[in-house]
Amino acid sequence: MKTRSAILNFLLSLSLFCVSFYIAWNINAATNFLYSTWYEVLSLDAAISKYAPDNKFKYGFEHTNKQQHIESFSGIVDAIQNNGQGLKELSYTDSKNHVTSTLLTDAEVIHLEDVANLISKFKYLAIFGFLIAFIVFMLMRSRKVAIAKFKRHLLGGIGTILTLAVLVVLIGPTKIFYVGHELIFPNNHQWFFYYEESLMSTMMKAPALFGPIACQLLLLTMLLWLSALYLLQWLQAKFRKV
């Protein structure tokens, strides 16, 4: 009985986490991943001023302002949320020479299309997670298996995050970032870009921007996940009274 309860609770928790992650990702995308906030915190303007003049392929980006940088990042986000559509058309205008240029190189477009393809799969993960959560919840209801106490889920979630945090510190976030890219993206597609050859990397101060984004994504996912578990516990208690 305890084993069945543990398995069902684990499946419910994991499936809800997948759904929560999908929702959290889309909320973050809708808010442009708070790029304007991290722009100030991480001094992205300084990185642009330093490296954009040395770019080998694109010129004049150092003569653009914060609003153009925010719009450029927003354009990338919108494109990867829409299967990569519009990446080749993204552009900026050099305010000094009044020249409009495309923002991304061909290699960057290919990489971001790979990212868009990966993100499009999040939808299927969320649908599958929702179905599993529904089935498991109904099984738990029919077999009178209680959803584990909210405190247990909370402690389990915090414990998992702390364990992952320790692993990240021990291994190194940059190394994890590189290994992750090597495993996820095609071997013949470039994913690493020096600042001097990529305005995309420069305006994101990659990988510096990805740390805060990962943290805010994880925190929102946890909040949604715990809220979903709390709601299902409430529903289960409600059904028992009927």
Please tell me the least confidently modeled range out of 24-28, 178-182, 200-204.
178-182
pLDDT: which is higher, 201 or 175: 201
Q: What is the pLDDT of residue 1?
A: 61
Question: Quick check: 11 pLDDT over 60?
Answer: yes
Nearest CA-CA partner of 177 in 202, 199, 210, 204: 210
Statement: residue 194 has pLDDT above 60: yes
Mean pLDDT value across residues 123-128: 93
- DSSP conformation letters of 120-132: HHHHHHHHHHHHH
Host domain of residue 62? 2-241
Q: How far is CA 64 from CA 35, 57, 96, 102, 194, in A?
A: 16, 16, 8, 13, 20
Torsions phi, psi for 85 (to 5 deg)? -70, 130
Beta-carbon contacts of residue 28 (< 8 Å; ≥ 6 apart): 34, 213, 216, 217, 220
Mean of pLDDT over the chain: 90
Distance CA 8, CA 232 (A): 13
Q: What is the mean pLDDT of residues 180-185?
A: 84
| Distances from the Cα of 26 to the Cα of 23, 77, 80, 155, angstroms | 5, 10, 11, 26
135-167 confidence digits (pLDDT tens): 999 999 888 888 887 777 777 777 877 887 788
Out of 15-19, 177-181, 186-190, 200-204, which region has the weakest mean confidence (pLDDT)?
Answer: 177-181
- pLDDT at position 158 is 78
Query: pLDDT per residue over 43-98, tens digit each?
Result: 999 999 999 999 999 999 999 999 999 999 999 999 999 999 999 999 999 989 89
Which residues lie closer than 8 Å to 113 by C-beta, 6 or more apart? 84, 87
Q: Amino acid identity, residue 206? A: A
Query: What is the total count of domains within the chain?
Result: 1
Q: pLDDT value at position 105?
A: 96
pLDDT greater than 80 at residue 242:
no
pLDDT at 62: 95
With 0.85 as the threshold, say if the pTM is over it: yes
Band of pLDDT at residue 241, cut at 50, 70 and 90: low
